[in-house]
Structure formats: structure tokens, C-alpha cells
Structure 1
Amino acid sequence: MPVTIEEIHQKFQQNPFFSHIGFEIVQFDEHKIRIKLDVREYLHNINGTLHGGVYATMLDNIMGMVTRSAAKAKVVTLHLSIQFLASISSGEIFAEATIQEQGYKLAFTEGEIKDENGKVLAKGMGTFKLIRNG
């Protein structure tokens, strides 16, 4: 049975890991999902910049959210590829994603993280398996 956009939104909103990192959903509708993160010191690497794992987590989450919302089904990440383009130490960052191709069982999605001025910090591509019941 397909899930609704509201159920998907609620699941992410209530996810302990999502909120532990500090992600905030700033837009969630049928056509666009956008998440935000305030870059905090506890998310820094030893160089004093945002840890690459946070970029990866943010991209995986936004691409999964977009894919899940479009397919109205659960999804799991099969492959995730990231290009780290710039570092950041403070401020807010935002992530968005788009589906490049979607079939019955797989979806290919691209995502971007930008700073508050629109500078691209990281790009990602993911392959997602769609989990359909029945």
C-alpha cells in the first residue's frame, strides 16, 4: 500500500537520527523538498570544517526523501557517490534533490548542498531500491 506525502514527512520529522544531526525540513511538498542544517562546531572535522560524513548524511537523506515521496514507497540506498566541492565552518547549508530516472524497482537521484549564498558545497548521486509491498 503506497504511503502519503504527509506520512513520509512525519516519519522524517520524528526520526531521532535526523533530528540528532540537526536537520530541519524547511519545505516538504509534492514538488520540492528542502532541508537545512546549522553548521555547528560539534559537526566539524579535525580541520575545523564540516565533516564529510555530514555532507554524505545530508545528501543521502534528501535524495531518499525525494525518492520516497515520488515513489510513495519505502526506499533503501544501494549506492551513494559524493563530490566534495567546498568546505564550510559556520552558517546554514541547504540540500535539495531531483530524480533523474525512476523505474518500478530502482531510482537514480541527484542532490546538491549549497550554503546560504547559493555556493555549491557538495553534489551527490544515489541509486535507490524501491520497496513495494505486494
Structure 2
Amino acid sequence: MPTPITPDRYDPATAAAMAGLGNGTDGLPAYLGIRTTHVGPATMTAELDVRADLLNPFGTLHGGVLAALVDHVLGAVLYPVIEQGRWAATTEFKVNLLAAVRDGSLEARSTIVSLTRRTAVVQVEVDNDGRPCGLAQGTVLIAEPRAST
């Protein structure tokens, strides 16, 4: 795992809110069954159980499911360390699929490796029951608060 940055700011209340993402909330994280298991300064871990409805016709996990898990932890890891009201938008990420996944569970660990006021670079390692199956890196835009309408 890469060495995480030491952020200037860390909000435990926001970290607690991020820990609840996917744990029974609506949307894609809930559909996929993503469970956030750890949020710390510059790090986040989430899990997903491999289910039959997430497999492709060849009996392996669809790459888009692993990519969705990566994208989830890629952006959510930033919220406890960015200013309140700012938001994170993934601008790009690349995933290396290292091994086929047929069953078990995935664990994705994200680490912020670079952070400026406007951008961040995050690396994500994904294991399938302890076996490396994915490695990703992405860039995230950190945007100003949205204007209220």
C-alpha cells in the first residue's frame, strides 16, 4: 500500500458520515452491497460480496463492478480532508484487472497520495479474499461549493 499523505485537515464527523456510505443507503453503492469498513485520515476501506447477479456470462465478476467499487472509494476518501462544502468529482481513473474474480468478497483500500486545493491523486488496491485482483489510480477534481439556487 502506498504511503498516504498527512492531510492538513481531518474532520471525524465527515469521516463518520463517509463510513455510512453504501451501508444501507440508496443508489449504486446499496445495489452493489458496498460496505465501508474504515475511514481514516487519507485512507478508506470498503467491501463488496460477489453475487451471481454481478457476474458476466463467463462466470466472473464484471469489470464494471470492480470499477464502481474503485470509483466509490476513490472519491469518498477525500471528504474528511477537504474543506466543508467542497466536493470531489472523479476526472479519470485506470484499473488494472490482475486476476479473475468468481466468488468471495472484495476489499478495496484507497490512499490519497497527492492533495492540492483543486486536485487529488488516489491509489486503490483491491483484493479478492486476500488475493490481489485490481490496482487503480485516479485523479479527482476538488470543486468549490455549489451556488445555492
Q: Same fold (TM over 0.5)?
A: yes
Runs of 4+ in 1 over 3 A off after TM superposition: 7-13, 29-32
Mapping for residues 38-77 of structure 1, pairs under 5 Å: 38-72=49-83, 73-77=86-90
Which residue among 29, 32, 44 is the counterpart of 1:21? 32
Structure 1 residue 31: Cα displacement: 5.7
**Distance 1:12-1:68 versus aligned 2 partners, 3 A rule:** farther
Please, which of 124, 127, 130 is the counterpart of residue 136 of structure 2?
Answer: 124
In the comparison of the two structures, how many residue pairs are matched? 132
Partner of 1:45, secondary structure, is coil
- Distance across 2 between alignment mates of 1:8 and 1:38: 19
> Letter of the aligned partner of 2:57 in structure 1?
I
Equivalence for 1:97: 110
Q: TM-score, normalised by structure 1?
A: 0.87
RMSD: 2.1
Shift of 1:84: 0.6
How far did residue 57 of structure 1 move?
Answer: 0.4
Unpaired runs of at least 5, structure 2: 1-10
Indicate the structure with greater helix content: 1
Q: Deviations over 1:34-77 (max 9, x none)?
A: 11111011000111000000111011111111122322542001
Amino acid across the alignment from 1:44: L
Distance 2:22 2:41 in 1: 15
**TM-score after normalising by structure 2:** 0.79
Deviates more, 1:12-21 or 1:32-41: 12-21
